[in-house]
Amino acid sequence: MDDENWETDAVMVATAPAPAELPEVKLFGRWSCEDVQVSDMSLQDYIAVKEKYAKFIPHSAGRYAAKRFRKAQCPIVERVTNSLMMHGRNNGKKLMAVRIMKHAMEIIHLLTGENPLQVLVNAIINSGPREDSTRIGRAGTVRRQAVDVSPLRRVNQF
């Protein structure tokens, strides 16, 4: 009789339910971020667009400014959305900025037929400055010196 109990326990353990697969995260429920490629190797760490940073809506209310360089982990679509809230009359209107971003993505998709995330990443790569100038001088004499721009600053200044 004890042998039968052991056999039934073994059968019960074997029929444990398998974990369900998570659905694919798509921006606004339409565009996947899995096939998006960051072609510039120096900017791959600073343009957060891969599966780890995938969001349904670019509104996470994350604290990306709490620590230095943490804003590099903010999804790139959310950073562009946040930059739409500049100038006093738009401050704090994030829902309006999200709506504008969604409409812009739909227009890009209709005009190009491509993934708008890929178009956005390519635009950020192409628009970031590679070289800048700094002021060098003492006692009132100032001269400009050309300097390279860091990758994070290239993404910030798109």
Per-residue pLDDT at 17: 63
Instruction: State pLDDT tens for residues 107-126.
Output: 999 999 999 999 999 999 99
pLDDT at residue 1 above 70?
no
pLDDT at residue 132 above 70?
yes
CATH code where residue 85 lies: 1.10.455.10
For residue 136, give the 3-state DSSP assignment. strand
Per-residue pLDDT at 83: 94
Per-residue pLDDT at 138: 80
In a domain, 2, yes or no: no
| Number of domains within the chain | 1
Mean pLDDT on 98-110: 97
Separation between Cα atoms, residue 123 and residue 29, nearest integer Å: 22
Tokens (6 digits) for 144: 């400009």
Per-residue pLDDT at 4: 64
pTM over the 0.85 mark:
no
Average predicted confidence (pLDDT) for the chain: 89
For residue 31, give the 3-state DSSP assignment. strand
Burial class (CB in 10 A: 0-12, 13-18, 19+), 66: exposed
Domain region containing 107: 21-156
In a domain, 14, yes or no: no
In a domain, 5, yes or no: no
In a domain, 15, yes or no: no
Instruction: State pLDDT tens for residues 68-96.
Output: 999 999 999 999 999 999 999 999 999 99
In a domain, 69, yes or no: yes
In a domain, 6, yes or no: no
In a domain, 139, yes or no: yes
Q: Is residue 78 within 8 Å of 58, Cβ to Cβ?
A: yes
Tokens (6 digits) for 84: 């739409």
